[in-house]
Amino acid sequence: MTRAGRIGIAVGIATLVLAGRVSAHAGTLGSATDAPPLPGWLLVVTGGGVVGISFLFTTLVTDHDLLRSTVERGRTLSISSSLRHGVSVLGSALGMAALVGVVLIGFLGPRDATANLAVLGVWAGWWAGYTVSVYLVGNSWPVLNPWRALVGSVERVSDRTAGWRARTLPGDGVWPATIGLVALVFLEVVMPIAEQPRLLATIVVGYTVLTVAGAVRYRDWFARADPVTAVFRWYGRLAPFGPDGDGIGARLPGAGLVRGDPPSAWGVTFVVTLLWVTTFDGFVSTPAWAAVARPVLAAGIPRLVVYLVAMLVGLGLFRGAYRLACRGSRRNAGTYVTTTAIERWFVVALVPIAAGYHLAHFLGYAVSFGPPLVAGLGSPLAGASVPVAVLPDWFGALELLFVVVGHLVAIAVAHALAFELFTGRLQPIRSQYPFVLVMVGYTVTSMWIVSQPYVRPP
């Protein structure tokens, strides 16, 4: 049997083995959850299997020209410069109003988090709902970004900033944004930001001071150091709408990821970090994490240290797994393209996975807290009184579906990228085996996390 055949079968077997191993967890822990009509382990195995099988289906599409034209397909709508200007003024005003509103309501509104519009607005409205719009529709953050608008007004007031703005951040790439993203998610996990409106408002003020100071000093702050802008920039490339010359371009979802240039080495670490923090966010609220963390915390190790170590170890594992998959891809394809170049080339395929996971994790949040948020806008300081929407039972199954769909888009994106980078029709397919193995394992892991009952992180 040829190598390809052996590996093809190995993928199939690995799907079942990996799934079987995880099912051991899901069987014991999943039984406590609001059980779907099917056994939890079977759903999770099916997810892994669907990802594996859809890879097999993509191998049937081997026409370079067809793939290229699919990626390039789209329309561009040009926008007049006056309309662009109007939208940008309106967007900054909206963003600024939201920022000021969050800070004021956070400090002055009700102390109860579920009644405070600042908390609802930031978590359900912005981080859950708005982020979904960024990868499902398009990245409107450059227009709305209140901090960019603030920096613009600081510059108009004082011309002293002109001299400072000549500086750029030291080093290369998005390393400051990577550190910033880790720091933000760390804060979110270890501090009760979502429960104490005053704390949330303080953090928003702190973030504002840091961002404005940084952006006034370094002209490449938003391009390299602001984690929020960087997250939305990556998610926006997945979206069906995006900037195209002087207008807005419509394209197939994910095509924007294949079209652009590969990121720098730090861009690779940033995307892997984005994937890891979305996973970590969900992982710390599983019973499994609680079972591990409680004894460690009881032994007297400080909470901050436990979470920081867990976060950095997990990040190291994810980064290492991606490096290994790329090394495997290099060996399997039989190519002289370096592992580093392969890492940079394929990393964009991780974005749909992160987005699918985000959707699974946060859509329910946005939907259930949407009614009180919208109803509360009429009387911002009094707070929300409308009850939270109750999600139907099938919503859990929908969440699992989002995880799988994210991986399917990733498979398609990676397939198109492989045919762009490698030669012929068999080399690109062979280059994908290690990625598919890792992806099937990751699908199973993240479906397991999503299907777990929520436990408050210890």
Partner 1 sequence: MIETRVVEDEAAACPYCDRPLPSSRLRALHLGEEHAEAMTAADREAYEAARDAETDELFVFHLKVIGAIAFMYAVFVLAYMVALS
Sole binder of partner 1 in the list 33, 59, 264, 368 (CB under 8 A): 59
Least spacing, CB of residue 39 vs partner 1, in Å: 5
What is the distance between the alpha carbons of residues 405 and 357, in angstroms, rounded to a whole number?
A: 9
Shortest Cβ 86–partner 1 spacing (Å): 41
Whole-number Cα distances in Å, 22 to 8, 27, 288, 397, 444: 21, 9, 12, 18, 7
CB of 443 to partner 1, least distance (A): 14
46 binds partner 1 (CB under 8 A): yes
Q: Does 211 bind partner 1 (CB under 8 A)?
A: no
Nearer to partner 1, 119 or 258 (CB): 258
Determine, following the binding rule CB under 8 A, whether residue 457 of this chain makes contact with partner 1. Answer: no
Selected range binding partner 1 among 34-42, 156-164, 169-177, 237-245, rule: CB under 8 A: 34-42
Q: Which of 276, 293, 301 is nearest to 457 (CA)?
A: 293
250's enclosing H/E stretch is strand 247-251
Does 63 participate in binding partner 1 (rule CB under 8 A)? no
Distance CA 90, CA 188 (A): 30
User: Chain centroid to CA 230: how far?
Assistant: 11
Nearer to partner 1, 52 or 396 (CB): 52
* Residue appearing with tokens 């100071």: 213
In sequence order, which residues have a C-beta less than 8 Å from that of residue 319 and are 6 or more positions away? 269, 272
Residue 199 touches partner 1, criterion: CB under 8 A: no
Residue 392 zone, left/alpha/beta (φ > 0; ψ -120 to 50; rest): beta
Of the candidates 323, 348, 327, the residue with the CA atom closest to the CA atom of residue 337: 327
Compare residues 68 and 319 and give the one whose CB is closer to partner 1: 68
Q: Pick out residues in 310-349 that bind partner 1 (CB under 8 A).
A: 334-338, 340-341, 345
Q: Is 62 in the site for partner 1 (CB under 8 A)?
A: yes
Tokens 């967890």, residue?
25
Q: Which is nearer to partner 1, 379 or 423 (CB)?
A: 423
Binding of partner 1 by 5 (CB under 8 A): yes
Q: In this complex, which beta carbon is closest to partner 1, that of residue 124 or of residue 347? A: 347
Site for partner 1 (CB under 8 A): which residue of 24, 53, 66, 381?
A: 53
How many residues of this chain bind partner 1 (CB under 8 A)?
Answer: 38
Binder of partner 1 out of 49, 95, 197, 406 (CB under 8 A): 49
> 366-425: which residues touch partner 1 (CB under 8 A)?
421, 423-425
Examine residue 17 and tell whether it contacts partner 1 (CB under 8 A): no
Quickly list DSSP for 135-186: HHTB--HHHH-HHHHHHHHHHHH-TTHHHHTTB--SSSTTHHHHHHHHHHHH
State the Cα–Cα distance between residues 238 and 44, nearest whole angstrom. 25
Nearer residue to partner 1 within complex by CB, 325 or 421? 421
If binding is defined by CB under 8 A, does position 245 make contact with partner 1? no
Q: Find, among 149, 146, 148, 147, the residue nearest to 95 by Cα.
A: 146
Specify the 3-state DSSP secondary structure of 298: helix
Reported as half-sphere exposure (CB side, CA atoms, 13 A), residue 194 has a value of: 15
Residues interacting with partner 1, by CB under 8 A? 2, 4-5, 8-9, 11-12, 15-16, 38-39, 42, 45-46, 49, 52-53, 56-57, 59-60, 62, 64, 334-338, 340-341, 345, 421, 423-427, 429
